[in-house]
A and B are shown apart, each in its own frame.
Chain A
Amino acid sequence: MTDHLTAQAHETPLPNWPEGLTRVPYWAFQREDVYGAEQERIFQGPAWHYLCLEADVPNAGDYRTTFVGDASVVVTRDADGAVNAFENRCAHRGALICLDEKGHGKKDFACVYHAWTYDLKGNLTGVAFQKGVKGKGGMPPTFRMSDHGPRQLRVATLHGLVFGTFAHDGPALDDYLGEEIHSRITRVLKDRKPVVLSRYTQALPNNWKLYIENVKDSYHASILHLFFTTFELNRLSQKGAIIVDESGGHHVSYSAIDRKGKTSSEDYAQQKIRSESGYRLADPSMLQGFDEFGDDVTLQILTVFPTFVLQQIQNAIAIRQITPRSPTETDLHWTILGFETDTPEERLVRLKQANLVGPAGFISMEDGCVGGFVQRGVAGAPREASVVEMGGHDAESSESRVTEASIRGFWKAWRAHMGL
């Protein structure tokens, strides 16, 4: 778990991508040149990226730093109440403009290196000694501050989420998400103010795409995670579905209590899957949640291409932001949410159910290590490919969750962005 697989710099051209959507060559998780191309074509290309919550920057002068791929980004609230985002990179010689993770009461940002100054929108407003000292030195007369500045992101908000993109001519956020995904975000976040209950980062020993594959993989959920199945949180025999958007890149997987059908454990027993352990909780209060949405949906996992996850597992609501660090390292930033309207009893349920997720999560602990198992497993096999054929060959929505359609969808969108 601790030894990071060193990625080789590849000079050789990329091998051809296999036909169809059901094979994913392992070099896609290994090569430096693929990682570099992703930064250009996806993270700085026409995709929208989660930046932070509006609640992270509630007042004028509030700021927070975040990442869009490799790029460090500053998010601010300005005096007009607008949310802005710009690269955390001084236009002069490239130093970080903002060294703090968050803060309040900023009127401007001054780079520590040479005190070039920026307003809350990221516009360059001051250059130290621009006119020189005593008539000597200084910037040439042709220098215009308006010609320089960190790149500013296009920003859009949705139910308290702040998204940004480097592409100023790409689709609007609403169009990018599409109606179905939009409505599923609305379901969780609409008309209530989130309260951050905790945040932490899980350092994953694998390529970022192995984590997103895992999130989109409803096939594994009830097999790898025994905690889920034993307590019938997510038996596949519950009713549920996978929604894959037209681009393939976004998805929703949900399951709901099937009040008509009987939840059978026979299917699991037949597959010899570890599902009948007889394991029971000494304190089952953790699983005694409250009906938050009135729709019997106990689980909704939603992804927005490339790296945003919104999770509802019972009353455990969280945002996961996936930040690639290298071909073989990924930071997973967790933000655990409650809401201002929570009663003390509801809040306690959220604190207890927060045990389900994160690096120590009863049902997500395995997701932290399984990507590393793959990264190590495929280390010597860049030209081999994974078999992503469960549920067929397409990337369409499905009423069965015994499918890898949303993984195929991810690769469909990834390849469209990458031109592969």
Chain B
Amino acid sequence: MQETSTQDLQALTFAIMRAQADYARCIDDDRLEEWPAFFLDPCLYMITTASNHRDGMEAGIVFANSRGMLKDRISALREANIYEKQAYRHILGAPCVLGEDEKGVRSETPFMVARIMRDGSTMLFATGRYLDTYRIEDGAALLAERLVVCDSSRIDTLLAIPL
């Protein structure tokens, strides 16, 4: 890990916060086709549980290691999968920049996601944290890796839209 100066840290945190805010709006506004562009190619996107993460388990509930696989998630949602109309509302905490290594800038960000169903019922669908690795290009933060670690191992009904 490299030492990061205060000034750099502020700039990094700001870049990451912007990327996260855009990411959450993209999903919550149902602009899912734009979602893969938040990632580099190749990349890692994995949704897992805190318990599996603690135990070092390899597989996720969702796993993608290319932008193509992220696109496939969205085209499957749009074209193939059957599920009731639903939407998310992401509430993100402030990112904590953990450091920087050869892979990029690592950060951890807590999230809560409410799910709003067709009939208007709203539930707290998931809480957890994003364990991210960002590459900063022209001041913009792109995801090399996003590990979505859900606090609970129980998923209600189905997980259609990405977290």
Contacts and interface: CB of A to CB of B under 8 A. Distances in A.
Interface of A: 1-3, 101, 196-205, 224-227, 230, 277, 279, 281-283, 285-286, 331, 336, 338, 347, 350-352, 354-355, 358-360, 362, 365-366, 368-370, 372
Contact of B84 (A283, A285, A347, A369): A369
A305 to B, nearest CB: 25
B18 to A, nearest CB: 27
Nearest to A230: B80
B58 A369 contact: no
Contact of B157 (A336, A338, A368): A368
Contacts of B62: 355, 360
Given A360-B155, A365-B83, 5 more contacts: A101-B51, A198-B57, A225-B80, A338-B59, A351-B60
Interface string B58-93: 111111111111011001100111111010000000
Contacts of B119: 3
A279 B71 contact: no
B75 A1 contact: no
B47 interface: yes
Nearest to B154: A201
Contacts, number: 140
B154 A224 contact: no
A49 B154 CA distance: 21
8 closest A-B pairs by beta carbon, nearest first, are: A283-B68, A197-B59, A282-B68, A368-B158, A198-B59, A226-B80, A360-B159, A359-B155
B81 A366 contact: yes
A366 B59 CA distance: 21
Nearest to B81: A365
Contact of A198 (B52, B156, B157): B52
A354 B153 CA distance: 16
24 contacts: A1-B84, A1-B117, A2-B121, A2-B122, A2-B123, A3-B121, A198-B49, A199-B52, A200-B61, A203-B154, A205-B157, A227-B81, A279-B79, A285-B66, A286-B69, A331-B154, A351-B63, A355-B62, A355-B63, A360-B62, A360-B160, A365-B83, A366-B158, A369-B82
B83 A203 contact: no
B20 interface: no
Nearest to A282: B68
A3 B123 CA distance: 10
Interface residues of B, number: 43
B62 to A, nearest CB: 5
A351 B66 contact: no
Nearest to A202: B155
Nearest to B68: A283
Q: DSSP class of B's interface residues: helix, strand, loop or mixed?
A: mixed
Contacts of B80: 225-227, 230, 277, 279, 362
A1 B157 contact: yes
Contacts of A360: 47, 61-62, 155, 158-160
A282 to B, nearest CB: 4
B125 to A, nearest CB: 9
Contacts of A370: 82
Nearest to A364: B158
B76 A350 contact: no
Contacts of A197: 57-59
B107 interface: no
Nearest to A204: B157
Contact of B58 (A101, A198, A226): A198
B48 interface: yes
A204 B154 CA distance: 10
A282 B79 contact: no
Contacts of B75: 279, 282
Contacts of A286: 69, 72
Contacts of A355: 62-64, 69
Nearest to B75: A279
B52 to A, nearest CB: 5
B155 A200 contact: yes
A204 B157 CA distance: 5
A338 B60 CA distance: 13
B82 A366 contact: yes
A227 to B, nearest CB: 5
B54 to A, nearest CB: 11
Nearest to B46: A351
Contact of A362 (B66, B76, B121, B153): B76
A19 B161 CA distance: 44
Contacts of B122: 2
B68 A281 contact: yes
A312 B115 CA distance: 31
Contact of B155 (A203, A205, A226, A279): A203
A200 B86 CA distance: 22
Contacts of A282: 67-69, 71-72, 75
